[in-house]
Chains A and B, each alone.
Chain A
Amino acid sequence: MSTELDAIPSIIPTRRDDAVGALEKMVSKGLGWARKYSLFQYPFVTACCGMEYMTLAAARYDLDRFGAALPRFSPRQADLLMVVGTINCKQAPVLRRVWESISEPKWVVAFGVCASSGGFYDNYATVQGIDRIIPVDVYVPGCPPRPEQVLDGIMMLQAKIQGQHHTFTEGKPLPVLGQAPRQR
């Protein structure tokens, strides 16, 4: 995209830049559409929210309608990390490791208030929100959230994915395990 040119307002983007930009935009829209309707979730289930996650995946509040049906219990095969339930200080390195193992593009949903902010467990054991460890895209509050709330969160995530810029190749260096979380 012609970002350097945009910084200089007097230069009008040429028709060639327009054409290239349009192609990239189309690819981004198409890839965004494909990615948002085929989310492979890694349900990192720990606590009570897991019960609502089970309900979400079952027949009534069907997550399959959103294309996000298949849980992949290997981080290599997943792209949506749903952190369901409380993360405590002992589980934190495990979560971080799992997040680092998921390859780009990846998104994180903090399911429940314990994952979003620690919930009411403000004590020696609980991490006060997973965004202290990994970057989060969508926070779904609730203790536990109703399945409709989570579906709303998934839809928000899908809108976000559509709006992001997608390319066939990322063109950025792959993250090395142990590096600081990427800024989004």
Chain B
Amino acid sequence: MSIEVKEAEKQEAAPRASVLDAPLPSKRMLVNLGPSHPAMHGTARAVVELEGENIASCKLDIGFLHRGFEKSCENVTWTQVFPYTDRLNYVSSIMNNVGFALAVEKLCKLEVPERAQYLRTITSEIHRVCDHLTLVGALGLELGAMTVFLYAIEGRDLLWDRLTELCGARLTSNYARIGGVSRDVPEGWIEKTTATLDRVVALRDEIDALLTRNRIFVDRTRGVGVVSRADALDLGFTGPCLRASGEPYDVRKAAPYLVYDRLDFDIPVGSAGDTFDRYLMRIEEMKQSDKMIRQCFRDMAPGELVPRDFRYVLPPKPEVYGTIEGLMAHFKLIMEGIQVPAGEAYGYTEAANGELGFYLVSDGGGRPYKIGLRAPGWPMLAALPIILKGALLADLVPTFDSINMIGGEVEQ
């Protein structure tokens, strides 16, 4: 056959380019992550509708760790609420204790002695470091950097050893009391903690060196899960996630409580609002917390731990056994609980994750009428379906990690 006919045949045989390049017809796939899933931090269930590798929509189902915190607290005395608050944000439990104590003291109009304020600040900041270490470790682990996890857990363990010496428990500390703190630091604790902080700084620098300029880590977290500043405010973000999006709001600077107005520290603020920024915020905040703890060690003076107000604070044991007023006060406080004046108050502090708020309603009795918890991780978790729209499925894991959803507080 002639060449022209062959050419014509070839042209007819080759299908048109648009038909070749059209996407294959496909259905959306529904993938269920959780509720028992390693990357879901225990207990969230994400039902993800996938368009190829992209998330078309993501529906979050929570409530798998709802333990009835609010209802349990309505049935115990004010002081008995402290162990329940411990288990809210269980990685930084002293902050929950302190937040609740501050809210109750707002209602009672109680003055906390200065040493107790310093101790509360020190332990809060130590637990903030623990929380950030846990987050960075988990983020590393779930992206494959298992060494980072081991270093972070080691750092956390070192701090928990110091806290065990102080409060008695590694994790659920139950340290704050209404009016102050439960006990003073043991002998030599401050020196030991300073040495421990040095070791934690070394570990943190290792983690920083392993992750911050790591090509794989940066590729997986930069530009992922971007939240704009306006969006973050509208969605109710607070804490490191809000500051990573560019809004410089920190309760410690905006409405200082405890001794934060006397301490010299900076607030890191991000710009891109992506997962990488949220991770960097945690590293920077750890540096600031370290600075704050050392300043507190330097400035803390000996003093009382609780005010001498027997309506709210247990009298010292010699008085309980020695005087009739002490005995009566002790008896009434234990049996009936602290009689907090009727009213309502919203006490807010800057926990590791954001603004931790306790909305208390008291009817004047020994038991809370209502304790409403404003969990810092709540708005970030609620906003997750909005953040993840159009993202890759593999981006779900680092984004979920970086918002630091702690099941205990979000699900109360």
Contact = CB atoms under 8 A, between A and B. Distances in A.
Touching chains A and B, CB distance < 8 Å:
yes
A85 B87 CA distance: 11
A60 B150 CA distance: 9
B407 interface: yes
A71 B141 CA distance: 13
Contacts of B289: none
B124 interface: no
Given A46-B65, A47-B408, A90-B64, A85 B42 contact: yes
A51 B138 CA distance: 11
B66 A88 contact: yes
Name the prevailing secondary structure of the A interface residues.
loop
B66 A90 contact: yes
Nearest to A95: B36
B69 to A, nearest CB: 8
Contact of B65 (A86, A95, A98): A86
Contacts of B35: 91, 94
A90 B411 CA distance: 12
B359 to A, nearest CB: 20
Contact of A46 (B38, B64, B84, B156): B64
A58 B153 contact: yes
Q: How large is the interface on B (under 10, 10 to 19, 20 to 34, 35 or more residues)?
A: 20 to 34
Given A48-B171, A48-B408, A58 B150 contact: yes
A90 B68 CA distance: 12
A51 B137 CA distance: 12
B65 A88 contact: yes
A123 B154 contact: no
Contacts of B64: 46, 88, 90-91, 94
A86 B36 contact: no
Interface of B: 35-38, 42-43, 63-68, 71-72, 83-84, 87, 90-91, 134, 137, 149-150, 153-154, 156-157, 170-172, 407-408
25 contacts: A46-B42, A46-B43, A46-B407, A47-B42, A47-B87, A47-B407, A48-B172, A51-B91, A51-B171, A52-B171, A54-B149, A55-B153, A71-B38, A85-B42, A88-B64, A90-B63, A91-B35, A91-B65, A94-B36, A98-B36, A120-B72, A121-B72, A122-B72, A125-B67, A126-B67
Interface of A: 43-48, 50-52, 54-55, 58-60, 71, 73, 85-86, 88, 90-91, 94-95, 98, 120-126, 143-144, 146
